[in-house]
Chain A
């Protein structure tokens, strides 16, 4: 049954690498205009989940629907063509390409090519620093600039939904704020968002709802406004003696 109230709908998804199972049955959904966070300790499968959704690795069981249609059997490039864009964690992009060349190339699918001009303007106004450095090669960019370019590349793909994997990894508080603003601006245009983050304050400032990931499963769902039980989060990080 297609369900048009959700951009993304995942049911009982399992995936992993070779002999190891990482995702042990994940179910979640992201509404059509919703911003959803994904929070959890290192190594508990957040990146693996995004990789499975974008079909960098194949799912072992379960279903993934995007805009009401099953995408779990589609190759990555087909998923991108439909507008589900995954901005990967710590993307080093294309080391020998210049910023401008990278952005132009990122508008690769026919749909993205049609939107190239408007999306490029949007990216350059969102991140003026990229505009100043248009001829600089990716490999020489600072961590913050690379993160901006990475998100910019995602926008050039003409997203109908964005999945960002730790966009502020290793950035200073000031840069984090800058990126938070940019991300808020993007989602204010009606692009649904799935945001993976380690910085709890950062996620909460940006999302409507949040899932806690624990050992390849969703352990809690937290709504905005609801009292955030910091104890839960502490437990996830430091272990819990409670039943």
Chain B
């Protein structure tokens, strides 16, 4: 393997991993706070990208990219809150909340995806890149937008990590995830924390959509494959561990890039699944997960 092939694999793996990390961290946040999987997380990414496109693109409202991104991110706060309200909140006291919300969030995903198809049509769209042009990195050329993703993802994740670790609200989110009744007894409004966790998670999904929307083409199914990857990553990283999720995202990104090079794009996804099954047989709790939740 020559060094430029190796560096191409590494760079494309890191680009993939950065997107996955942004995507999966939102999913992981909701899991560790509420104990549910939000299957609508992928379609939130799609929605974020389409909203940014409509506001920014010349074929839409033509307000420019910065406005488009800002509007999209702000809208995601509302969408996150709405999803929590409509498909999660009614089932908080239910014993089988995990299973019920698999159903309800899947339903939300389908409804939103069909809605997107209805509003924006099936025609492919693409966001303008935040940074146009190309850059050279480790003897490989990538688009400046991809380079931006590589830089931005760790910054956003660091901010998320600091928020959860240091801020009052962030700590309250973790407290609610670890012991909601004890959190309630120190004066934390648990349902408000659930709303905040959903809003932050939706913003992360929207941000991923906005960033990837100029690297890939927008279709109503834009977020479907990232959702599946993010699910795998959250499980592989160890349920409830944000650092595990982030580590797993980059590992899977690099693994995918390697497999694409070795066996081609056709077999790579299935091979990733097979490898993960082996890993989970050896380490059922995932990379950094706790043995029991």
Residues of A within 8 A of B (CB): 54, 56, 75-77, 80-81, 85-88, 91-97, 101, 104-106, 108-109, 112, 153, 156-157
Contact = CB atoms under 8 A, between A and B. Distances in A.
Is the contact region of chain B dominated by helix, strand, or loop, or is it mixed? helix
A108 B188 contact: yes
Contact of B187 (A80, A88, A96): A80
B4 interface: no
B186 A106 contact: yes
Interface residues of B, number: 17
Chain B CB count within 10 A is highest, among A86, A91, A105, A112, for A105
A148 to B, nearest CB: 15
B175 A97 contact: yes
Given A92-B179, A94-B179, A105-B168, A76 B184 contact: yes
B186 A97 contact: no
B185 A86 contact: yes
B178 A108 contact: no
B181 A157 contact: no
B186 A153 contact: yes
Contacts of A81: 187
Given A80-B187, A94-B178, 11 more contacts: A54-B185, A75-B189, A77-B189, A85-B185, A88-B182, A88-B185, A97-B175, A105-B168, A106-B186, A112-B187, A157-B186
A91 B182 contact: yes
B244 to A, nearest CB: 12
A81 B184 CA distance: 11
B174 interface: yes
B174 A88 contact: no
B174 A108 contact: no
A153 B183 CA distance: 11
B252 interface: no
B172 interface: yes
A91 B181 CA distance: 9
B114 interface: no
Contact of B181 (A56, A95, A104, A109): A56
A14 to B, nearest CB: 20
Given A54-B185, A157-B187, A105 B175 contact: yes
Closest 6 A-B residue pairs measured CB to CB?
A80-B187, A109-B187, A94-B178, A76-B184, A108-B187, A77-B189
Contacts of B184: 56, 76-77
Given A93-B182, A94-B179, A105 B172 contact: yes
A113 B233 CA distance: 38
A94 B175 contact: yes
24 contacts: A56-B181, A75-B189, A76-B184, A77-B188, A80-B186, A80-B187, A81-B187, A93-B179, A93-B182, A94-B174, A94-B175, A94-B178, A94-B182, A95-B178, A97-B174, A97-B175, A105-B171, A105-B175, A106-B186, A108-B172, A108-B186, A108-B187, A109-B187, A157-B187
B173 to A, nearest CB: 11
Contacts of B172: 105, 108
Contacts of A85: 185
Contacts of B185: 54, 56, 76, 80, 85-88
Nearest to B241: A96
A218 B241 CA distance: 46
A93 B184 CA distance: 11
A81 B189 CA distance: 11
Nearest to A87: B185
A86 B185 CA distance: 6
Contacts of A106: 186
Contacts of B181: 56, 88
Contacts of A92: 179, 182
Interface in B162-218: 168, 171-172, 174-175, 178-179, 181-190
A240 to B, nearest CB: 36
B43 to A, nearest CB: 31
A76 B188 CA distance: 8
A102 B175 CA distance: 9
Nearest to A86: B185
Nearest to A94: B178
Nearest to B176: A94
Contact of B178 (A87, A97, A156): A97
Contacts of B187: 76-77, 80-81, 108-109, 112, 157
A86 B168 CA distance: 21
A108 B179 contact: no
A94 B175 CA distance: 6
Contacts of A101: 171
A56 B188 CA distance: 12
Contacts of B182: 88, 91-94
B186 A96 contact: no
A75 B172 CA distance: 17
